[in-house]
Structures are given as C-alpha cells and as structure tokens.
Amino acid sequence: MNNNRKPRLLALAGSLRQDSWNRLLASAAAQMARDAGAEVVEVNLRDFPLPLFDEDIEAAGLPEQVSRLKDLFASADGLLIASPEYNGSVTAALKNLIDWVSRPDGQYGRAEVFQGRRAALFATSPGGLGGMRGLNHLRDILQPLGTWIAPTMLAVPESMNIFDAEGNLVDDGARNQLRALVEQTLAAIAV
C-alpha cells in the first residue's frame, strides 16, 4: 500500500435484514477503523439486489450492481465482514455476492478484487457460539480467492444484549475484541 494515503476498507454484513445485529456490528467496526485513520465505505447488501449467480445471466451481460460492487471491492485494501450464521454456514446473500464479484470479466480477472485484500471476519448471534461455524466457512471461501484473513475471528454470543436501543455496541468485551481485530487488519494492510 502507498503509505501516503489512508487505508481504504469496505464494511458489510452478510444479512439482508433491515434490523440485522450483524449490520450494527459492521457499522461499529467501520467507525473503529475511521477512528484509527482509515477511509471506510459501508455496503448494505439491500442496495445491491443480485440475481442468483447463473452463467447464462452473466453471458447475457453483467448486471450493473455487480459492476458497481466489483469497483468497490477493487478500490479497497481491506474488508470488514460481519457474517451471520444460517444453518451453520454463511448466508446465501453473502455467498452469492462472492460468487458474482469473484468472476472474471473484461475489466477484472478471476478473484482479482479479493486477491491481496486483508479481511477481518466477525459475527454475532443470539446463540452461544456467536456465529463461529459460519465464520469458519467464510474463511474457507475467501482464502482460496487470495484474501488474507486476520488470524483471530470474533464471534459474539447473545447479540440481543450487546447493543443499546440506538444500536451502539455497548458490551465492553465485544467492543475491545472488535477494536483489536480492526487494528490487526489495519496493521496487516500497512505491511
């Protein structure tokens, strides 16, 4: 990375749900990264409705929202991804986004927008495991695409108890662990 500019990050949650706990967690991470001097673009998957990945659709012409997402990913040095756990894995929306964005086209090669990126993976859920099983799957998807994953992934249980009524992350332990993960990712970008 050019040390004369701020690191650029994308922050997103793998949920389409309006009141997603994971979207709140991604926003908290984004603010922590901004506080540490990074530029952060928060991506709401609802703003990028994608058809299910289908090579026939792709052959007919890349959907505009896929091109916009690819450009966003290409402009980023790193990723802050809050990944809810559905049935022990990643959400269909997040996997579909990765499938579309990793495809080669006339502008980007296969997985080019993931290669060399640094990523922090984290989750929260009402359950006791906090989404860790899904994080393991997400790591297994992103690493072969060339994404460096922070060695510590954060899974925060009892999501209904870690935010206040305004959506602020108020659990001290979760906040401190998330900040450490964001800082670890920013340090990896600076290398």
Read off the pLDDT of residues 154-173 as tens digits, 9 standing for 90 and up.
Answer: 999 999 999 999 999 999 99
Domain at 158, CATH number: 3.40.50.360
Residue 160, in any domain of the structure: yes
Residue 52: CB atoms within 10 A of its CB come to: 9
128-149 pLDDT, tens digit per residue, is: 999 999 999 999 999 999 999 9
Domain annotation covers residue 13:
yes
Q: Are strands 8-13 and 154-156 parallel, antiparallel or unpaired?
A: unpaired
Percentage of residues in the chain having pLDDT higher than 70: 98
- Indicate whether 3 belongs to any domain: no
Is 2 part of any domain? no
Instruction: Please give the pLDDT value at position 124.
Output: 97
Q: How many domains does the chain have?
A: 1
Q: How many CB atoms lie within 10 A of CB 1?
A: 14
SS3 at position 15: coil
Residue 2 has pLDDT above 80, yes or no: no
Q: What is the mean pLDDT of the chain?
A: 96
Domain limits for position 35: 8-190
Region 76-101: mean pLDDT is 97
| 1: in domain | no
Tell me the pLDDT tens digit for each residue of 101-115.
Answer: 999 999 999 999 999
**71 in a domain, yes or no?**
yes
Burial string for 158-185 (b: 16+ CB within 10 Å, else e) reads: ebeebbeeeeebebeebbebbbebbeeb
- Pick from 23, 55, 28: which is nearest to 179 by CA? 28
Tell me: the pLDDT tens digits for 71-85? 999 999 999 999 999
pLDDT-derived band at 3, boundaries 50, 70, 90: low
Q: Which contiguous run of DSSP H or E holds residue 173?
A: helix 172-190
pLDDT, residue 191, reads 80
Is the model's pLDDT at 122 over the cut of 80? yes
Alpha-carbon gap, residue 132 to 165, rounded angstroms: 25
Residue 175 near residue 28, CB atoms below 8 Å: yes
Structure tokens at 29: 């991470």
